[in-house]
Amino acid sequence: MVKSYFKFEHSNTFGLVASASSNAIWAKEEQTGAARQTGTGRAIVGASEEVLCWDVKKGELLGRWRDSACRAQVSVVTQSKTDEDIFAVGYDDGSIRLWDSRTSTVLISFNGHKSAITQLVFDNAGVRLASGSKDTDIIVWDLITETGLFKLRGHTDQITSLHFLFPSAELLTASGMGDHAGFLLTTGKDALIKVWDLASQHCIETHVAQSNGECWSLGLSPDQGGCITAGNDGELKVWSIDEAAMVEISKEKVGVDGRRILSDRGTFYRNGKDRTIGIRFHPRSDYIGIHGSEKSVEVWRIRSQSEVQKSMARKKKRRKEKDTQKAEENGAEQEADKADDVANAPVSEVFVPHVIVRTGGKVRSFDWMLNKSNGLNLLAATTNNQLEAYNVVPANKKNTDSEDTDYSRSLAVDIPGHRTDIRSIALSSDDRMLASASNGSLKIWNVQTESCLRTLECGYSLCSAFLPGDKIVVVGNKNGELEVFDIASSTLLDTIKAHEGPVWSLHVHPDGKSMVSGSADKTAKFWEFKVVQEEIPGTKRTTPRLKLSHTRTLKVNDDILNLRFSPDARLLAVSLLDNTVKVFFVDSLKLFLNLYGHKLPVLSMDISYDTKLIVTCSADKTVRLWGLDFGDCHKAFLAHEDSIMSVAFVPHNKDGNGHNFFSASKDRQIKYWDGDKFEQIQRLVGHHGEIWALAMSRSGEFIVSASHDKSLRIWQQTDEPLFLEEEREKEMEEQYDSTLTASLEQDEDGEDGEKPEAVDAGKQTTGTLMAGEKIMEALELGIEDLEVVREWRLVKAANPNAAAPDRNPVYLALNNVSAEQHVLNTVQKIPAAALQDALLVLPFSALSNLFTFLNIFADREWNVPLTCRVLFFILKTHHRQIVASKMMRPMLDSIRVSLRRVLARQKDEMGFNLSALQFIGNQIRDQGTSDYIDEETWEEQQTRKGTGKKRQFVSVA
């Protein structure tokens, strides 16, 4: 019989406030009537593959948006300007999802980029979305039809900013244009700044944005009158935007050759000398926030015209005084002074530093908070897993003589995560609490609710363990100290200077009365737990205190990296820096076995429940299984692609899985192995950074892992059986899929090697291929069935009692659906965003079948928008071949006749409905408003108006 195992699956992630891979944005609170509003709003941040929504004031998690099908990290988040519940989220694999924050569901998903999304922006009406990516392309998506409109190519490195520009309505009417598709302002790491005309889908202007290397970001002023681009070494360049020139160049007017949309107004330098990765203008006041990847956000002020004039006059006066002095000395005539023009003032006069906000970590991104409180508020997301809100005092409120600081940290979301990497984790004996220790902090978590119960300060922790009773945690530090914490009272009970070198490992004795610590000072020390009565100072009362008393020391000839008691407490295994593992008897400390074989030091080990096997893992990427009777190596696996940090056996043999074990590595994977058959059972993928630590629950039902991405993940055992052959097949399929999609990514170069500037926004994925195959299958079945049904109708006309036709079993299974309905259902099920790519899969030979069905759909008025969409896309794609084909012409003629009839009817219906709505709207308006007016003026107006109302009524009726 084939052996089956239980499958482990990722159940949840916690310990993460905000990932350094994504930006954070501030959003208003949702208008829910029940909960009391805090008024500070919420922060929407990317955290690994999820998007988290935090209440900034309470530090509570309000929502968690996660698509189970997506494993890629979130790389960018942005909010729609018109509908504030809609957020666009870009991911590392090039996919984009639109989320509704109220329901935490995906509304639309797009897939058109080859690599990570770097920028997303909605247009003013909220109906289009532009995305920029590391693959240097920009795609404009239509959110109404859920399709990609076009892909713009012109940058040669990743896109670093995107902004829509819309000319004002007055300008458009003046130039005789009703409306315009708008313009797009983009910058790339290639140091270029480009203006794209979205109507003609072309780049109409390009400048080199920075003088010294890449352009990292662009901030657009709220009135769209100018922008600032940022490069290396703190260089910031100011540009003015000429809207009139933009419209004229777009219209290709004669004589616009010399006009420039963007004109360089000068350069200024910020305080930090690093590259500037973010610039944001304050939407309501004259301030800009600028930051690099250092621990600060600089707030600069934009001076008003009068201030600039005053400042320039002051400087001019000083200059004049100096010139007069010089002139008197040299006896020369002084020059007549020229009037200074504010418009030509140097940018350093206009932009002045206001305050530098020092943050608690390196800034990843920041956003202005537009809440009701006074002053300027900004929300900063830092790379060390926290969100901070700062209040900055504006210039007009600053008190020159007071000692107050210019800014203050008002709020922060930092409790639910560590600032530095978690180096060790330990579970309590009942699996209900988890201790995680990092450099500087020890946190205790409730495993069920994933909430942080306690945060304690500790040293640079390397290992930790719960003591029996689960009230006390011991932490081993890099400086050789053992720290003993009482969880209930959140106090440090004791600090013991245990070793000379770092304490690399701790293990509690199975009887729960003692423990052992191993260190780089080449000793293992045994500690007994004793309760001593200590006097309370100043009184005669005593209080019981737990003490660790040192009983024995085991000296070895190299640094100790790890140690383990066997479950029967007979043996102690010690791994050394000389790549060996030595096994000692616990009672006499005599050497029992020497395990040689690893090429690099053993980083972790575990002993099975029956003390028969020991598993060791090493920096040489291998796992070795040894027998503990004779120290023979049963098997060595090349288990991972990087150092293996931790291994753990299943702690009991309840389901016959006592010899199964887990290994976790720096290659971001956890693997589940069978220690009897020496086979890999399962691969658990999910972390986005090296995995530092792994803890196995006492029940064996879940494991917890901690990683460099600052997250803690729980992997739960399910009831789903798992068979090794199926797992191998699945892995092979995944590998095949990835090579297939890679081979599908063809270049869209023109015939002569020239790249067209705008191309179709499409990307073949396994999903679109399967959708295309489904359409082909439905067409083939459908054409056969149409013929069968046609023949049966002829027979039935002659013989009314003829038996029902012998149709394909697929149709009978689908409730005896008609062939044409089945084809329509198949096409309808394909997401709108993937439909065009799916239709590209169809060979030209399948088009005649498709046209047959399109004709039926048009004739019967079934889903006319979809029918038209498919038809027009196919005509556009295969235009030349269709025109040349004799067979296709008559088909197209009949489709045209039916479609024209249907579309004319629909157009009339829509016109009728629009008029009716207008009429009802007018009626409601008339009934709903009652004005108090002067009778005489009203009578005058009525006589002037005539009978306008009545005429309107007649026209509608």
- Residues 465 and 507 reside in one and the same domain: yes
- Residues 775 and 900 reside in one and the same domain: yes
Which whole number is the average pLDDT over 614-642?
93
Q: Please spell the DSSP secondary structure of 190-202, one letter per residue.
A: TSEEEEEETTTTE
Can you give the pLDDT at residue 722? 87
Q: Tell me the C-alpha distance between 337 and 320, whole Å.
A: 8
Domain housing 496: 423-521+523-556
Percent of the residues in the chain that have a pLDDT greater than 70, as a whole number: 94
Whether 820 is covered by a domain: the verdict is: yes
Whether 256 is covered by a domain: the verdict is: no
Q: Looking at the 3D structure of the chain, how many domains does it have?
A: 3
Whether 24 is covered by a domain: the verdict is: no
Q: Is the pLDDT of residue 187 over 80?
A: yes
- Residues 550 and 661 reside in one and the same domain: no
Separation in Å, CA 932 to CA 590, 935, 937:
105, 9, 12
Q: Tell me the C-alpha distance between 446 and 435, whole Å.
A: 9
Which whole number is the average pLDDT over 49-71?
89
Which of 847, 840, 909 is CA-nearest to residue 877?
Answer: 840
Separation in Å, CA 591 to CA 507, 584, 931:
19, 4, 102
For residues 499 and 478, the answer to whether their CB atoms sit within 8 Å is no
Q: Which residues contact 237 (CB under 8 A, 6 or more apart)?
A: 209, 210, 228, 229, 230, 231, 264, 266, 267
Q: Which residues contact 506 (CB under 8 A, 6 or more apart)?
A: 463, 464, 465, 474, 476, 482, 515, 516, 517, 518
Q: Tell me the C-alpha distance between 644 and 692, whole Å.
A: 9
By CB atoms closer than 10 A (0-12, 13-18, 19+), residue 873 is: middle
Q: Is the pLDDT of residue 926 over 90?
A: no
Which whole number is the average pLDDT over 812-816?
85
- Residues 768 and 900 reside in one and the same domain: yes
- Residues 769 and 677 reside in one and the same domain: no
- At 34, list the tokens: 């029940």
Q: Is the pLDDT of residue 1 over 70?
A: no
More confident residue, 680 or 345: 680
pLDDT tens for residues 452-465?
999 999 999 999 99
pLDDT tens for residues 471-495?
999 999 999 999 999 998 899 988 9
- Residues 698 and 651 reside in one and the same domain: yes
For residues 660 and 673, the answer to whether their CB atoms sit within 8 Å is yes
Whether 479 is covered by a domain: the verdict is: yes
Which of 641, 763, 744, 706 is CA-nearest to residue 93?
Answer: 763
Can you give the pLDDT at residue 578? 92
Q: Is the pLDDT of residue 933 over 80?
A: no
Separation in Å, CA 773 to CA 312, 761, 766:
71, 21, 11
Q: Which residues contact 787 (CB under 8 A, 6 or more apart)?
A: none
Question: In this predicted structure, which of 46-55, 502-511, 573-582, 855-864 has the lowest mean pLDDT?
Answer: 855-864
- Residues 541 and 657 reside in one and the same domain: no
- At 150, list the tokens: 């076009």
Interior angle at CA 510, CA 505 and CA 514, nearest 5: 65
Can you give the pLDDT at residue 402? 52
Interior angle at CA 311, CA 307 and CA 314, nearest 5: 140
Sheet bearing 613-618, strands edge to edge: 602-607, 613-618, 622-627, 633-638
Which whole number is the average pLDDT over 739-760?
67
- Residues 768 and 858 reside in one and the same domain: yes
Q: Is the pLDDT of residue 523 over 80?
A: yes
Whether 327 is covered by a domain: the verdict is: no
Whether 492 is covered by a domain: the verdict is: yes
Block residue for tokens 């957020």: 87
Which whole number is the average pLDDT over 14-35?
81
- Residues 457 and 547 reside in one and the same domain: yes
Which of 11, 8, 7, 14 is CA-nearest to residue 706?
Answer: 14
**H or E element: which one contains 573?**
strand 571-576
Separation in Å, CA 547 to CA 828, 881, 951:
71, 88, 98
For residues 159 and 152, the answer to whether their CB atoms sit within 8 Å is no
What is the b/e burial string over 475-498, where b = at least 16 CB atoms within 10 angstroms of the residue's CB?
bbbbebbbbbbbbeeeeeebebeb
- Residues 530 and 469 reside in one and the same domain: yes
Q: Is the pLDDT of residue 953 over 50?
A: no
Whether 912 is covered by a domain: the verdict is: no
Q: Tell me the C-alpha distance between 271 and 235, whole Å.
A: 10
Which whole number is the average pLDDT over 921-939?
80
pLDDT tens for residues 135-186?
899 999 999 888 888 999 989 999 999 999 988 888 888 877 777 888 999 9
Could you tell me the pLDDT band of residue 397, with boundaries at 50, 70 and 90?
confident
Q: Is the pLDDT of residue 950 over 80?
A: no
The structure's pTM equals 0.86
Q: Tell me the C-alpha distance between 179 and 247, whole Å.
A: 11
By CB atoms closer than 10 A (0-12, 13-18, 19+), residue 255 is: exposed
Alpha carbon 950 to its chain's center = 58
Which whole number is the average pLDDT over 242-259?
78
Whether 790 is covered by a domain: the verdict is: yes
Q: Please spell the DSSP secondary structure of 392-409, one letter per residue.
A: E--GGG--SSS---SEEE
Which of 690, 683, 685 is CA-nearest to residue 707?
Answer: 690
Q: Is the pLDDT of residue 956 over 70?
A: no
Q: Tell me the C-alpha distance between 797 and 790, whole Å.
A: 11
pLDDT tens for residues 263-276?
888 898 888 888 89
- At 159, list the tokens: 């896109």
Question: In this predicted structure, which of 35-49, 75-89, 356-370, 639-653 has the lowest mean pLDDT?
Answer: 35-49
Can you give the pLDDT at residue 73? 92
What is the b/e burial string over 929-938, where b = at least 16 CB atoms within 10 angstroms of the residue's CB?
eeeeeeeeee
Which of 506, 545, 352 is CA-nearest to residue 426?
Answer: 506
- Residues 803 and 889 reside in one and the same domain: yes
- Residues 724 and 842 reside in one and the same domain: no
Can you give the pLDDT at residue 460? 93
Determine how β-strand 287-292 pairs with β-strand 50-55.
unpaired
Domain with residue 527: its CATH number is 2.130.10.10
Average pLDDT of every residue of the chain = 87
Q: Please spell the DSSP secondary structure of 90-155, one letter per residue.
A: EETTSEEEEEETTTTEEEEEEE--SS-EEEEEE-TTSSEEEEEETTSEEEEEETTTTEEEEEEE--
Question: In this predicted structure, which of 34-38, 427-431, 631-635 has the lowest mean pLDDT?
Answer: 34-38
